[in-house]
Chains A and B, each alone.
Chain A
């Protein structure tokens, strides 16, 4: 990011990307603190390190485009435009959450934003995203143009069968799907090199006969550029693209996990590229946004995060009887058993 690339997002998009990154950074830290303090009774999977990747994805997708994400979804959901209050309330299991408090951290759904599913099962979102992409392809106009579908997953998901079945199907049917691999270097506590014979995930993906690229996930502008092209290929009916975004998990696997097993030098090098502050410096030094404007954004983001947590912790909890809702379409039958 030493020089302005030839294609840079327009100023409004840059501002939104920074706002997303800052929101995610602050909300992630707050969520871990609330979980630790016992005020948020949930297993929370930190997203620190993914801020730039997700902000770029959010800037590329329209609300009509569909997204499938994972249990590590705070950055994806914020970037896709899911209201922060609803996200944080769901993390707390409250009625005002995205799923009326019944899903918790791992299972965000928000139809108005095009967030179609998130899953707690590693790799299982990919076949579902392939189905959404099949629907998008069938809905496409006579010129083959339609909406794009994106699916996010960690590097750990590239080992499981569902991943391979979905990649094969998407390539075979030329589905309008962007496979976004958020490579944070770790499958829970096992580093990539310890579970994959080759660490070039894009090279392996290319074997499915689809376009496969690797990008520095700590470079939001480059990531935006690559994802823009991938989403455009999808919308134009030109088939799937695999994009490996290389990042690093800046904290442990869960909000309570220790991360002493992560090599100190590696972690420190990654922390030196912490996405939100790095992007902030670049925006200021390159003249895209003034310090004053960045200060305003920071203040507004911090207030919004405070507001979301206050809102969530004051929100009502589901009633015990709500457990019968939405098991089947017909609640009366479930209750009557």
Chain B
């Protein structure tokens, strides 16, 4: 599914910016909505920097601080034929817009008997402890228990680009979770062009025989470092990065655990 024309080194933030840039360029129905996402701010984490200048304020829209309106407007625009990407600045703020996402976006395909799918993507960010307890919660499990929403949580710049593009062009509502610790902490070669990582496909980051370590998102750098330490002690750990929590790649996880007979889940 990955089509690559060239590759450059990028941070996760730059990779997501590239995914949004390419989506806006490829499909006039793609829209961005959120607080402070337009220039000169370009988003509080600068993920949308330059996009309103390039595509105009109609398609990259600053909104009031009103998460119900942001998600409701995204849902409505999707019903009207668009592919909106809404930004909720911190994951914690989803609590004030749960109704729109859980009762409406997740259920409209079902409640309409298939007439009204809601192809929205909601980008949101898990903060870290410097923001305190209302700006640092990892709430993705709530949405795993909400039928109708897909949940992606990348750990690398390439996956961030590829998963975000897949979410934008997916026909179901997608929650795309970023972690502030990953925005600028690592750089890697990211494929240029229309790079997609299929939703529901885990990545085996390191092969091993003694134990399977299953994780995702911001825990991945620590997990890989721990696997190095274990190797020094003669323990061979297989590390799986789930990348997507709904759909969850059970076949990859089960095949690995069937072989190693041991599973450790590392949850952030």
Contacts and interface: CB of A to CB of B under 8 A. Distances in A.
B76 A107 contact: no
B69 to A, nearest CB: 4
B247 interface: yes
Interface string B31-67: 1000000000000000000000000001001011010
Contacts of A14: none
A102 interface: yes
Interface in A68-120: 68, 97-103, 107, 109-111, 116-117, 119-120
Contact of B76 (A102, A109, A120, A135): A135
Contacts of B148: 327-328
Nearest to B76: A131
A100 B103 contact: no
Nearest to A175: B73
Interface stretch (B105-113, B124-132, B211-219, B231-239): B105-113
A109 B116 contact: yes
Contacts of B110: 102, 325-327
Given A99-B113, A102-B110, A111-B115, A127 B71 contact: yes
Interface stretch (A166-174, A196-204, A209-217, A256-264): A166-174
Contacts of A139: 80-81
A168 B82 contact: no
B112 A99 contact: yes
Interface string B137-157: 000000000011010000000
Contacts, number: 154
B72 A124 contact: yes
A109 B77 contact: no
B27 interface: no
B103 to A, nearest CB: 6
A138 B76 contact: no
A165 B81 contact: no
A128 B66 contact: no
B113 A128 contact: no
Contacts of B167: none
Nearest to A136: B80
B111 A161 contact: no
A325 B64 contact: no
B98 to A, nearest CB: 11
28 contacts: A68-B76, A98-B113, A99-B111, A99-B115, A100-B114, A109-B111, A111-B116, A116-B79, A117-B108, A119-B104, A124-B72, A126-B72, A127-B72, A127-B100, A128-B79, A130-B73, A133-B76, A136-B80, A138-B82, A162-B69, A162-B100, A168-B69, A173-B61, A325-B110, A326-B112, A327-B109, A328-B109, A328-B150
A-B residue pairs, 3 tightest by C-beta? A131-B76, A127-B72, A135-B80
Interface of B: 31, 58, 61, 63-64, 66, 68-69, 71-82, 84, 96, 99-100, 103-104, 108-117, 147-148, 150, 170-172, 200, 247, 250
